[in-house]
Amino acid sequence: MKIYLVAGEISGDILGAGLITELKALYPTAEFRGMGGELMKNEGLTSLYPLETLSIMGLLEILKHLPKLIKVRKHLYQDALAWGADLMIGIDSPDFNLGLEKKLHEHGMKTVHYVSPSVWAWRQGRIKGIKKSVDLMLALLPFEAEFYHQHQMPVTFVGHPTADKTPIEPNKTAARQALGLTEEHPIIGLLPGSRGGEVARLGALFLQTAQQLKALHPQAVFLLPAASTKRYAEIQQLLIEHPIKDLQLIQGKADLVLQAADVCLVASGTVALEALFCKTPMVVSYKLAPFTWWASKFMLKSKWVSLPNLLAQKTLVPERLQDQANVTQLTKDLNQLITQPAVANQQTQAFYAIHQQLRCNASKQAAKAIAALLNRQT
């Protein structure tokens, strides 16, 4: 069995590694090739490109890198065929992977897409192309699976791997001890995202908000985990312009930071879901390039963008986007969570119920669904 996998982000690398582990249990002699990060490579993937090749955000940014992306996709397409892959699994990165899946599917290869694109929220017309390109969609979230069922698209809800790995009851004391912290002072997590564009747009804003919170809560300690060595260096530069007393810049360990924090300010995306699993009250913020934001307003079909709110189907956590993502508003929101425990508790109680719903042993469920697909079509 030859399985081709393509992931382009840190979250995809985590998903891919777990999936490879379970696929190896079902197919002990399987070979894995494509593109992924260190975790997938550690599980046996032969990767042709580094993970960050696809980590590009925004319409104009993608256009700038389009020639390179087209070249990479063409090479992966040719390589998958030359290698004789039995199956192609695209992990997230839909704007890149769905095109690759389409070409390979047209060539007769079985295709799976792991992590639904936000087709339920915007550009819903994409479902027609997805149905022609993908034999099976693996959805992490229940409302995604409902959307595909409505459009007669083969889909399996597998749950979320991070929900599986994260204990239902977080151990805040142990996380703080692991980070060398005490219980005495308010601890505030700052997580501006793992991509360079996110740090460029949110980094200074998050630090300026921290400065305001420090003035309100002089004993507060701030934790900022950098997703990579590149992000670490970028944030170090920002701290020269926006210095904050009692801020720890940490290499990695976002999971420990989220467990240790009393409240957190996070970029919209996977990290908001991770904060939910850690039962940490949060404020979600995001900024896009101006043109991308303008274009998105015409295509967005959902009332919310953050995963906690989408899963709750209500405004469970504050979402501050674009112009609303300013120091005054973010400081006000976070200060409310710090000073009004009842407000924070409303979030955490809902987080418990959502966490239970998403605990399904996702990697195993995904591998079983893939095996069922292969058995049906062989």
185 band by pLDDT with thresholds 50, 70 and 90: confident
State the greatest distance between any 2 C-alpha atoms of the chain, in Å, as a whole number: 65
pTM assigned to the model: 0.80
- Give tens-digit pLDDT for 199-237: 888 999 999 999 999 999 999 999 999 988 999 999 999
Give the separation between CA 281 and CA 306, rounded to whole angstroms: 14
Position 287 scores a pLDDT of 82
Position 295 scores a pLDDT of 63
Start and end residues for every CATH 3.40.50.2000 domain found in the chain: 2-159+360-376, 165-357
What the block records as the tokens of 49 is: 């490109």
**Fold classified for 165-357:** Rossmann fold (3.40.50)
Report whether 214 contacts 220 (CB < 8 A). Answer: yes
Give the separation between CA 10 and CA 194, rounded to whole angstroms: 8
Position 66 scores a pLDDT of 81
Position 291 scores a pLDDT of 65
Position 284 scores a pLDDT of 97
Q: Residue 355 carries which side chain, given as an amino acid letter?
A: H
Using the predicted structure, report yes or no on whether residue 60 has a pLDDT greater than 60. no
304 band by pLDDT with thresholds 50, 70 and 90: confident
187 band by pLDDT with thresholds 50, 70 and 90: very high
Give the separation between CA 308 and CA 317, rounded to whole angstroms: 7
- Taking alpha carbons only, the member of 271, 195, 269, 285 closest to residue 234 is 195
- What letter does residue 37 receive in the DSSP assignment? -
Taken in order 303, 196, 73, 271, the sign of the CA dihedral is negative
Region 344-365: mean pLDDT is: 97
% of residues, the chain, pLDDT over 90: 78
Using the predicted structure, report yes or no on whether residue 280 has a pLDDT greater than 80. yes
- Give tens-digit pLDDT for 94-104: 989 999 999 99
CATH number for the region 2-159+360-376 comes to 3.40.50.2000
Q: Of the ranges 68-72, 276-280, 312-316, which one carries the lowest mean pLDDT score? A: 68-72
**Tally of CB atoms within 10 A around 324:** 14
- Taking alpha carbons only, the member of 108, 69, 79, 65 closest to residue 5 is 79
Region 168-177: mean pLDDT is: 95
Using the predicted structure, report yes or no on whether residue 335 has a pLDDT greater than 60. yes
Taken in order 154, 156, 157, 158, the sign of the CA dihedral is negative
- What letter does residue 122 receive in the DSSP assignment? B
Using the predicted structure, report yes or no on whether residue 378 has a pLDDT greater than 70. no
